[in-house]
Amino acid sequence: MGVADVLYYTIHFRELKSIIQWKTWHMPVHERDREKETVSLRICFDLLDMTSRSFSAVIQELHPELLVPIALFYLILRGLDTIEDDMTLPLEKKEPLLKEFYKITEKEGWSFNGSGPDERDRELLVQFHYVTEEYRKINPVYREIINDIAQQMGDGMAEYCKRAAEGRSGVESLKDYDMYCYYVAGLVGNGLTRLFVESKLANPALKERVQLQTSMGLFLQKTNIIRDVKEDWDDKRSFWPREIWSKYVDDFGDLFRPENREAALNCSSDMVLNSLNHADECLFYLAGLKEQSVFNFAAIPQAMAIATLALVFRNPTIYEKNIKITKGEACQIMLESTQNLQKVCEVFRKFVRQIHRKNTPKDPNFLKISVACGKVEQFIETIFPTQDPGALKTAAESGMPVAKKEDPKVIREREEAKWDTSKG
């Protein structure tokens, strides 16, 4: 911990407390047994740590039935993402790699050292033969699911790379935007759901709720796209749809000019609104996850996303640099999100209220954002009625009806009935 960190946590002691609590008191639902692993599998987990320490930690606490399949699923999709992101690869080399990647996962000894020297996850592809070695050992049913997702994702990525190479904007309309996010994230939600259900660790009805699966991925992806706007622009690319940004500026680059700050903030709030519209469906999805480690795995990223959405909302700093929630905030969110659905709903309520407080009548999206916040609060009130003054106020201001307090037993029975597979 550096001097700056010491000074920060001296002022923000509650965040330091959260870090200590997470490191001291957090007990994994399941623990990975390294002694039973092959050398190649250990290397796969090392690669997982290298590519994403935060995701790696959550994956390694999964139920043993899904631990290895989901770890390899993540590495395979990260490999695809690394190829797509590599601006040094020409289209004629990138396109066939993306389209054939699902077949590569079955090839013994395959690796790739053609990524640019500065590509962040280059080493994953260099050592990918360890991934393919372990992948061929997992349940064929899981492989079929992962291959299907990898094929669809690779085809989608190849199409958007082709558009970019031909000088066509890959993200023109909101429909384009949703489709791009579906290919790079919505499909992940679909694949994970099929793995959860196939392993019998989630309600089978989830498999039929495609819209909920998709919203889980789109909520994460859209939030990251808002947060990373400056980083992406510096890399000479953008994912914000023209249909949104053209309402505020003539050229996308104008958003980064100080003289256009108010227009830029209104534009980013429009993007936040688009992402926020998926929030209630994410909570509904989480209600279908019964096994604790699977619930934690799905809930933590969603809770981080709503916190990030509150951070970027009407925050001019996103046009200057990449911003993230602090480590202390992240630990507090993880503590709260690894208990039950009610706690996760409380996290969502807290950050939705932050967005609501930052909302301003000067913003052309003011009313729509108020309604979106009220919609999330109303959904939570429907599941866990509290008659909380804050929830009542937000719902009333957005014109949403307010739920009456009910007996907790009645609420549980109603929610279980919604997931009854015999009722479609």
pLDDT 10s digits, 156-187: 999 888 887 777 656 899 999 999 999 989 99
Does residue 417 carry a pLDDT above 80?
no
Does residue 76 carry a pLDDT above 70?
yes
Tracing tokens 């909520």 back to the chain, one arrives at 219
Find the catalytic residue in 101, 130, 180, 351. 180
pLDDT-derived band at 32 (thresholds 50, 70, 90) equals confident
pLDDT-derived band at 402 (thresholds 50, 70, 90) equals very low
> How does DSSP classify residue 277?
T
> How does DSSP classify residue 197?
H
Find the catalytic residue in 194, 227, 314, 349. 227
* Interval 209-233 mean pLDDT: 95
User: Nearest-CA neighbor of 135 among 41, 36, 38, 52?
Assistant: 41
Find the catalytic residue in 120, 136, 168, 237. 237
Does residue 189 carry a pLDDT above 90?
yes
Burial status of residue 135 (CB atoms within 10 A of its CB: 0-12, 13-18, 19 or more): buried
Catalytic residue flag (residue 34): no
**pLDDT attached to residue 9:** 47
Classify the phi-psi angles of 399: left when phi > 0, otherwise alpha if psi is within -120 to 50, otherwise beta: left
* Interval 368-379 mean pLDDT: 96
Find the catalytic residue in 55, 297, 379, 384. 297
pLDDT-derived band at 115 (thresholds 50, 70, 90) equals confident
Q: Which residues contact 252 (CB under 8 A, 6 or more apart)?
A: 233, 238, 240, 242, 245
Q: What is the pTM for the complete model shown?
A: 0.85
User: Nearest-CA neighbor of 57 among 375, 288, 274, 300?
Assistant: 300
State the chain's maximal CA–CA distance in angstroms: 62
Catalytic residue flag (residue 297): yes
